[in-house]
């Protein structure tokens, strides 16, 4: 069953007013926990600009077998894409840092409220939640995860980056979840250098972040990245105590050949 959540009527704690016009983030396709019981974990997937939830939920088919107690839910963005094909998380006429940050600030309260509702339905807390995003969805996942009142289990960002000033991040950061950034070195939309700059900014704020570079890959997801994301989610969401005890080297870049 699909559902929707209206923008919250009251201003958010960050001082940003909620998005106007009755915008909604809707539940898209999902994969219910394979264990057939009450889900113990929730993985929310955020698609890219001009896409839909179906484009990302298919990736979760690779992850469900090792996370049988997790619900996988694709959210649908509130705005129609500029060309009329698919949806987008925020409206931008350009890709300047100012425009991106303004769009994220408008979308963040909607996603926060949506996550709160989805967790409440399952009686779960943030430490049983993970976000996976691609492109715009990755930007929004990072933005929101770092500002939640409670720390979620993990974030996987495909082909995304943050563009906010270091002072803004330092002032607004409230949570430091484990993050994996997966990025193509030939990305023509969000340059690879933007990912590495984001990684360094997050490390400076004490965020446990790792990255995986994909040589020759453009603005897309590939099989190796999807497999690595599944391993990361399984380790950090399902087996987090063991993963934490291992004390990962978060400075390590994983280099794999593109297949």
Six-digit token pair at 104?
Answer: 């994220």
pTM of the model: 0.85
Share of the chain above pLDDT 70, in %: 83
User: 4 versus 173: which is more confidently predicted?
Assistant: 173
Average pLDDT score over residue span 170-184: 97
Question: Confidence class of residue 255 from pLDDT cuts 50, 70 and 90?
Answer: very low
Q: Which of 57, 51, 66, 70 minimizes the C-alpha distance to 30?
A: 57
CA dihedral (31, 23, 179, 14) in degrees, to 10, reads -140
User: 81 versus 194: which is more confidently predicted?
Assistant: 194
Residue with tokens 């925020």: 90
Say if residue 244's pLDDT is above 60: no
Say if residue 163's pLDDT is above 70: yes
Q: What does the pLDDT read at residue 211?
A: 97
Share of the chain above pLDDT 90, in %: 74
Inter-CA distances, 189 with 14, 23, 49, 192, 209, Å: 29, 26, 11, 9, 22
Question: Confidence class of residue 12 from pLDDT cuts 50, 70 and 90?
Answer: very low
Say if residue 15's pLDDT is above 90: no
Average pLDDT score over residue span 85-111: 88
| CA distance linking residue 197 with residue 48, whole number of Å | 21
Burial of 149 (0-12, 13-18, 19+ CB in 10 A): exposed
Question: Confidence class of residue 21 from pLDDT cuts 50, 70 and 90?
Answer: low
| CA distance linking residue 87 with residue 51, whole number of Å | 6
Residue environment code for 203-230, b if the CB has 16+ CB neighbours within 10 A, otherwise e:
eeeebbbbbbbbeebebbbbebbbebbb
The pLDDT tens digits for 113-142 are 999 999 999 999 999 999 999 999 999 999
24-255 placed in CATH 3.40.50.1820:
yes
Question: Confidence class of residue 83 from pLDDT cuts 50, 70 and 90?
Answer: confident
Determine contact, residues 62/55, Cβ cutoff 8 Å.
no
Average pLDDT score over residue span 41-68: 95
Say if residue 89's pLDDT is above 60: yes
Total number of residues shown for the chain: 259
Q: What does the pLDDT read at residue 20?
A: 43
Six-digit token pair at 105?
Answer: 């600030």
Q: What does the pLDDT read at residue 257?
A: 39
Strands 87-88 and 253-255: unpaired
| CA distance linking residue 216 with residue 186, whole number of Å | 5
Residue-range domain boundaries for the chain: 24-255
User: 186 versus 257: which is more confidently predicted?
Assistant: 186
| CA distance linking residue 190 with residue 8, whole number of Å | 31
The pLDDT tens digits for 190-241 are 999 999 999 999 999 999 999 999 999 999 999 999 999 999 999 999 876 4
């Amino acid at each position: 069953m699909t559902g929707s959540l209206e923008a919250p009527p009251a201003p958010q704690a960050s001082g940003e007013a909620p998005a106007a016009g009755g915008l909604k983030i809707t539940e898209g396709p999902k994969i219910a926990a394979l264990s057939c019981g009450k889900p113990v974990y929730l993985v929310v997937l955020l698609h890219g600009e001009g896409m839909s939830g179906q484009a990302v939920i298919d990736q979760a088919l690779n992850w469900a077998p090792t996370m049988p107690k997790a619900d996988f839910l694709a959210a649908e963005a509130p705005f129609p894409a500029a060309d009329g094909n698919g949806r987008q998380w925020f409206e931008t006429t350009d890709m300047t840092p100012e425009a991106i940050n303004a769009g994220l600030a408008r979308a963040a309260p909607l996603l926060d409220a949506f996550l709160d509702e989805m967790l409440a339905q399952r009686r779960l807390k943030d430490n049983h939640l993970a976000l996976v995003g691609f492109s715009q969805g990755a930007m929004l996942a990072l933005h929101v995860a770092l500002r939640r009142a409670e720390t979620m289990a993990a974030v996987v960002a495909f082909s995304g980056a943050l563009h906010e000033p270091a002072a803004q991040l330092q002032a607004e950061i409230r949570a430091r979840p484990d993050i994996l950034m997966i990025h193509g070195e030939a990305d023509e939309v969000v340059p690879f250098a933007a990912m590495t700059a984001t990684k360094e900014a997050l490390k400076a704020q004490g965020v446990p972040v790792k990255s995986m570079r994909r040589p020759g890959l453009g603005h897309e997801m590939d099989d190796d990245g999807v497999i690595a994301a599944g391993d990361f989610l399984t380790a950090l969401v399902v087996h987090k105590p063991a993963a934490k005890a291992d004390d990962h080297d978060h400075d390590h870049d994983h280099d794999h050949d593109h297949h």
